[in-house]
Chains A and B, each alone.
Chain A
Amino acid sequence: MDGMDLVLLGLGGRSVPATRARAVVARARQRGCTLLVTGGDWQGASARLEARVSGYEVTGGSGGRPISGCGRISRVRLAMRARGRGFGSVHAVGG
């Protein structure tokens, strides 16, 4: 974490006890580092992001309906939701 601006941590479904998490967060704050945790539960995170695939766009369809055997996936639509201590809840949809 020393010297890095962004650290991505994959928990793989494990949960981190609150005492352990606090120590790591304190270190990150001191070093000016952003800690991004995926795939697990982190106690006391300052913001939580959720993203869900809401649909796919396929090229080469007719009338908005994709035809099997034609086209390819051109876009992935995501519905994102951020909840944090400072700003409440925000929604966004993007492709």
Chain B
Amino acid sequence: MSSSRVLAVWCMDWPAVAAAVGAELSPTSPVAVTLANRVIACSASARAVGVRRGLRRREAQARCPQLHVVTADPARDARHFENVTAAVDDLVPRAEVLRPGLLVLPVRGAARYFGSEQAAAERLVDAVAAAGAECQVGIADRLATAVFAARAGRIIDPGKDAVFLSALSIRQLATEPSLAAPGREDLADLLWRMGIRNIGQFAALPRADVASRFGADAVTAHRFARAEPGRGPSGREPPKELDAVMDCDPPIDRVDAAAFAGRSLASDLHRSLEAAGVGCTRLAIHAVTANGQEMDRVWRCAEPLTEDATADRVRWQLDGWLNRRNPNDRPTAPITVLRLQPVEVVSAEALQLPLWGGIGEESRLRARRALVRVQGLLGPEAVQVPVLSGGRGPAERITLTPLGDEPVPLADPGQPWPGQLPEPSPTVLLDDPGEVLDGEGNPVRVSGRGLFSADPARLVAPGREGALSWWAGPWPVDERWWDPDRKSGRTARAQVLLDGDSGQALLLCYRQRRWYLEGIYE
């Protein structure tokens, strides 16, 4: 439990403190911040002479004639709080700001470094004081509890969160705006009127009763009251600026120029990626033409891109844009700005070559290099990798993805596919229209009840014609009835065996009131 302990740093009356700093007043002078003619924050000296939150501006000035009144300005609060954040960051990195005046951080590393949680808290208070602000520090197991512990200036023992909270007034539920939803004020008021006076009484209510009577926000509040785990502080470093941008002079209008630009841009990008210790798995290529036309496209890869792979993708993409099949779609002016943006990055561990390759690893890499070279010669779509996909017909079972893309099947093969053709699959797949006739030469249809209109006797298809020695089916396929393009008519499959010496087994598919020769078993 001690691994997830949270420390909160709370600067009391922060809007008033920021306003005093902004107006270059001494920290002890009375200051009040108003919003919509009501006081929302005041300094300690103003509070001492009777200024309270919620007073009207006139009344506050009447109680304290020398009061300095300013209107609320969140930008000012945030601007001055940046000094405090920087001071805390110097001591313990990766603090998360909940709002100006309140920040939280995981305490585990700091406690180990400074010897104890108490020592870490003292150092933080000193650091914030050096930055010109007063603060209180609280430590608890949960983020929300830590915030209230900071208001009380206490360090809560591990596992005692709920005990600490239970003594607080129910009105406290709504005091911290960064932890409470907008309607929390009403909830606290309602609970008060129902006779629930402290958080401990609220926590003792059954969860189901709270959920059914007071709604979703009350459940959040209830979780908080019971000190159940919530979101911890996310000590993540902000993403670095990794984009590589190039102003093309002269503008690019030919593919060979694009290839050179792509190569130098790729090396820029990889230098910044290496410096950040990450590899890129999704790359956005963004181009702006001289006329201000913008184009972009995201490339997704299963493995982190190498420098060569990035250069290849830039070249393919620019090639594609500059040589579109339809001349109207082509950019109307040459490209002046190129930007590569890593949309998704992974840690560089994934980029490390294994020290001892697995069995067959070397030959796998060799094969991959050969295929990538083919791709470089013929374009990205030239090398396709089949993936087993979900579907009912034999053709739907295969998805072809270009090499290097993530092998994602169009449909999940793990799902049940009722009506899927059982093994064996036809070895040759076709899509030729044909005709199935009954004994009298009339075409055979599939009825609404999923039956043949008459027993099939002959098949007439290009290249294959003859009497049937056996047939089975029809097996109706009930899919895509919601799709307006595929709606007309029903779909069914049937297997037939042609009569004669060579007697081939065929798979037929009936859709949109026609028969198609779908596969041959051979």
- Interface residues, chain A, with chain B CB atoms under 8 Å away: 1-5, 53, 55-56, 58, 66-76
Contacts and interface: CB of A to CB of B under 8 A. Distances in A.
Contact of B522 (A58, A69, A75, A76): A76
A88 B468 CA distance: 39
B366 A56 contact: no
B472 A69 contact: yes
B455 interface: yes
A3 B360 CA distance: 12
Interface residues of B, number: 20
Given A53-B522, A68-B455, A76-B521, A3 B471 contact: no
Interface of B: 363, 366-370, 422, 424, 455, 468, 470-472, 495, 497, 503-505, 521-522
Contacts of A67: 470
B422 A3 contact: no
Main secondary structure of the interface of A (DSSP, over half): loop
30 contacts: A1-B370, A2-B366, A2-B370, A3-B363, A3-B366, A3-B369, A4-B367, A53-B504, A53-B505, A53-B522, A56-B497, A56-B505, A56-B521, A58-B470, A66-B497, A68-B471, A69-B471, A70-B472, A71-B472, A72-B422, A72-B495, A73-B472, A73-B497, A73-B505, A74-B424, A75-B424, A76-B424, A76-B505, A76-B521, A76-B522
B370 A68 contact: no
B470 A3 contact: no
Contacts of B367: 3-5
Q: Which 9 A-B pairs have the closest CB atoms?
A: A3-B366, A3-B370, A3-B367, A66-B470, A2-B370, A56-B505, A53-B522, A68-B471, A76-B521
Contacts of A69: 455, 471-472
B428 to A, nearest CB: 11
A71 B521 CA distance: 16
Given A53-B521, A76-B424, A76-B505, A58 B472 contact: yes
A5 B370 CA distance: 12
B57 to A, nearest CB: 80
A58 B422 CA distance: 13
